[in-house]
Structure 1
Amino acid sequence: MVNEKLINRLLPFFGLVILVICLWALSGELRSYQLKEVIQSLKAIPQYRLSLAIAFMTLSYFAFACYDFIAFHYLKYSLSAGKILLVGFICNAISNIVGFEALSGGAIRYRFYSHWGVPARTIALVLAFENLCFWLGLFAVGGVTFLIKPLTLPRLLKLPFVSAYPIGLIFLFIVISYLILCAVRKQPLRIRGKTFAIPSLNSSVAQIIVSFFDWSFAAAVLYILLPNNNPLTYPGFFGIYLLAMIATIISHVPGGLGVFETVILLLLPKSINSAAALGSLLAFRAVYYLLPFLMAVVLLGGYEIKRRWGTGK
């Protein structure tokens, strides 16, 4: 218990250290460029690409909302599709900016679902199911990607591997072990006196499929915004995006600000101008993080106003 408390207290400082290191590396990468070049690169992104990026962002957020669909279906609890989509979108948009998804997403889900009569235990199970879906999908997609196209890992991450290949093996081992557990064990799992229900094999496969689309559409948002001289194919870029997101998760920096950009810039081909790439990354932040966040704040505010006036359903 003491160790857990100590770890929880140190995590914010660990994230701060990672952020400082990444900002230092980022400044070194961009030292040769001027702010004007970055702004010009941002303005140079064609309108049709921005439109495509917004379309991919919408599909990614829709896929994320489907995590809760699968959870409610597995728990055999009926709730309208519109309500689930609304909550899924708001949770994802806000937690992407605020960070601490389990806390911020859990609070928002409880706020909405409890008002609609969903029992607290069911809400807790939905949240646990959603977190499981996220990690299961990341391990499955990352495992396959890193085995097919293992990337050379930047030294900045200070990982004990030279390439992402061992990470892919570890990820797939976890996923396969989990699927086997779902297939053979029908009774709840008890760990340290706590009971954990094991999802069915069909539900677990559905989790992986939905998460695959979520990650694929999210990566497509940034890929479509990269400069015209980008030599990477989408599958080649996908592994870079996943590795940057994994570094973001490890860093505990809200939104991975600075960490995500640093890893992307370090792994992109040298033929891509760093200032132009940073312009694309800023556009990605605006499309995938800021725009949904503003929409979620408006939706959340509108819901609270309706509820205050007694018309919230």
Structure 2
Amino acid sequence: MRSPILRFCLKMLPILLALLLFVASIIMITHELKAHSLQSIWQYLSTISKGHKLTAIALTGFGYLTMTGYDLLGFRYINQSLAPAKIALTAFISYAVGNTIGFTAFSGTAIRYRFYGTWGVSKLKIAQLIIFTHLTFWLGLFAVSGVVFLVDPLSLPAILHLPFKSAHPIGIIFLIFVSIYFVISVFGKGSLKIGSELIKFPAPKISLASISVAALDWGLASAVLYLLLPVGHRLSFPGFFGIYILGLTAGLISSVPGGLGVFETVILLLTPSTVSNADVLGALIAYRAIYYFLPLIVALILFMVREVQQHRMK
């Protein structure tokens, strides 16, 4: 049996690693901010064309619309009917809030219980849906990242203190997890009965559809940041997509809300030296504003409007 001290240390290890990763990222970004004046960063923000900004906003809208696919597939999985507009509204608010403030397991869960519950979906069905969306999200992350890291095994920044010098081994590990998942999905016939409900493993078709949603989701998200980078940066979109996916993966694994700091560090370190770090920081600030804070503002407005409507109905 493990001693209480050993069990405590094992529980604290992921938290400590996430904290160390976050601190290292903040140090890196602080160093870059010292090396470049805030004026030069803001100056770059003013040079981003209006067309690129509007296109980035449009792609962000399509991206969040794509995210609703996780919930739409989830309702198919739990065999529950609900108007697509209601699913889209709930999913958008959940992802907009969860992506920005983090703690998606709590913030997104609370919103889904609040909205779907008032529309007659049972708590057990909502719980199944939440488990499905989280499971398929990580499945999509492992599948897309695994393929990208195999095709383009990027060198990992030393500041991240990871045991690999290249993303290639990470890609192999991720695809092994995905393979195990599909083996269980195809050959595993087990199910769990809770009350009158039978919880089954998602069918392979639904899982494959979830991976497609994830690929499109992150393709649109990376396109937003790609558009905001300096014109003439000589970085192909496929090449940049690998950098973006690595930053996204590091940010998600770090458990830092929105991957703040960790994501930026990876992008800064892996973007070619031909692009000024001040310009990259400016692009990252614009990306955070468009892809995270703008949807959050819209989501909060929609949430308040719906709460007022519910109050009037009561």
TM-score category of the 2 structures, normalised to the smaller one: over 0.9
1:166 partner letter: P
**Please, which of 223, 228, 246 is the counterpart of residue 225 of structure 1?**
228
Q: Is residue 49 of structure 2 the alignment partner of residue 46 of structure 1?
A: yes
Deviation at 1:141, TM superposition (A): 0.6
Aligned partner of 2:141 in structure 1 is 138
Counterpart-to-counterpart distance in 2, 1:84 and 1:7: 39
Name the amino acid aligned to 1:161.
Answer: F
Distance in structure 2 (CA, Å) of the matches to 1:231 and 1:31: 26
Aligned to 1:270: 273
TM-score (norm 1): 0.92
Query: Residues of 1 paired with 2:188 and 2:29: CA distance?
Result: 48
1:257 aligns with one of 256, 260, 272:
260
Aligned residue among 77, 84, 98 for 2:80: 77
Shift of 1:27: 2.2
2:246 corresponds to: 243
- Native 8 Å contact 2:150 2:168 kept in 1: yes
- Written as runs of structure 1 = structure 2, the 5 A alignment for 1:189-228 is 197-228=200-231
Instruction: Decide which moves more: 174-183 or 290-299.
Output: 174-183
Partners of 2:200 and 2:89 in 1: how far apart? 26
**2:310 pairs with one of 291, 298, 307:** 307
Q: Distance in 1 between matches of 2:88 and 2:292?
A: 18
Match of 2:284 in 1: 281
| 2:174 pairs with 1:154 | no
Picking from 141, 162, 167, the partner of 1:164 is 167
Q: 1:166 to 1:189 in 2, by over 3 A?
A: farther
Q: Deviations over 1:29-70 (max 9, x none)?
A: 343311110001011101111111112111111111110100
- 1:10 CA displacement: 7.0
Q: Distance in 2 between matches of 1:285 and 1:53?
A: 11
Task: Mark the runs of 5 or more structure 2 residues left unpaired by the alignment.
Answer: none
CA spacing shift, 1:17–1:165, aligned 2, 3 Å: closer
Q: Contact conserved, 1:64 with 1:210, CA < 8 A, in 2?
A: yes
Q: Deviations over 1:150-177 (max 9, x none)?
A: 1000011111111000111111111122
User: How far, CA to CA, are the matches of 2:23 and 2:182 in structure 1?
Assistant: 39
The AA in structure 1 aligned to 2:122 is P
Root-mean-square deviation (CA), in Å?
2.1
Alignment of 1:88-167 (within 5 A): 88-167=91-170
Amino acid at match of 2:22: L
Separation in structure 1 between the aligned mates of residue 11 and residue 90 of structure 2, nearest angstrom: 28
**SS at structure 2 position matched to 1:153:** coil
Other structure's SS at 1:79 match = coil
Where in structure 1 do 4 or more consecutive aligned residues deviate above 3 Å?
Answer: 1-17
Percentage identity across paired residues of the two chains? 44
CA change 1:41–1:85 in 2 (3 A) is same
Q: Which runs of 5+ in 1 are unaligned?
A: none
Is the CA contact 1:143–1:168 (under 8 Å) kept in the aligned structure 2?
A: yes
- For 1:175, the aligned partner's letter is V
User: How far off its partner does 1:265 sit?
Assistant: 0.3
> 1:97-147: CA deviations, max 9, x gaps?
111111111010000011111000100011011001211111111011000
Offset, 1:6:
6.7
| Separation (CA, whole Å) in 1 of partners of 2:36 and 2:142 | 36
**In 2: Cα distance, 1:200 partner to 1:47 partner:** 44
**Distance in 1, Cα, partners of 2:185 & 2:192:** 11
CA distance in 1, matches of 2:273, 2:209: 38
Change (3 A) 1:228 1:83: same
Task: Tell me which residue corresponds to 1:59.
Answer: 62
2: CA distance between counterparts of 1:143 and 1:83? Answer: 33
User: Which one-letter code corresponds to 1:263 in the other structure?
Assistant: V
Residue 296 of structure 2 corresponds to which residue in structure 1?
Answer: 293
- State TM-score, norm by structure 2: 0.92
CA distance in 2, matches of 1:229, 1:4: 52
Q: 1:229, 1:272 within 8 Å by CA — same for their partners in 2? A: no
Q: Secondary structure at the match of 1:83?
A: helix
Contact 2:244 2:267 in 1 (8 A): yes
Q: Distance in 2 between matches of 1:249 and 1:215?
A: 13
